[in-house]
Amino acid sequence: MENKKLGFVILSISIVASVLAFGFMGILGRQTSSLQCYPTNECQRVESLLGLSHIAVGLISFIGALGIYLLFFSTSEEAILTRLEQDKNIKIGHDRFELILKAMDDNEKNVLKAIKEQEGITQSTLKFRTDLSKAKVSQILTDFEKKHLVKREAKGKTYAVYLAENF
């Protein structure tokens, strides 16, 4: 929220500065017209001030653009911290999953990876994806349930298998 407040303040300042700069440029333009600007010292002073006013308009435009960016497009620190926290939790979950896989045999690894790839996979689909028998898949899933790694929910004549909440 601080970025939005800062953006609003900067945008307000740039609008006020723009009004002042364009007013000053109008006055200089009228002086140029009234002097009919022949190469005199007075005309050179007016022309140099007019050149500086163009630079001022460029700076004011930059400040205004910065204010608009901060007001509408800048992400706040809270959003960045939330995103970093989510990324950290995903990495911790992935590391935990890899650590659990190291303690398993190949069949168990294949079953758990298939469940992770497709949440809610049915036992019959799991049987085909892992190329294991129905009894072996059922035995592995029963062991996983005892270890609180997966949960099964009835889905027709088979079960849908989900990773437990701690993944």
Contact in structure between 149 and 100 (CB atoms under 8 Å)? yes
Mean pLDDT of 6-24: 84
Q: Which amino acid is at 115?
A: I
Fold classification of 79-163 is Arc Repressor Mutant, subunit A (1.10.10)
CA distance 21 to 41: 23
The pLDDT-based confidence of 37 (bands split at 50, 70, 90) is low
pLDDT of residue 136: 93
Whether the model pTM is above 0.85:
no
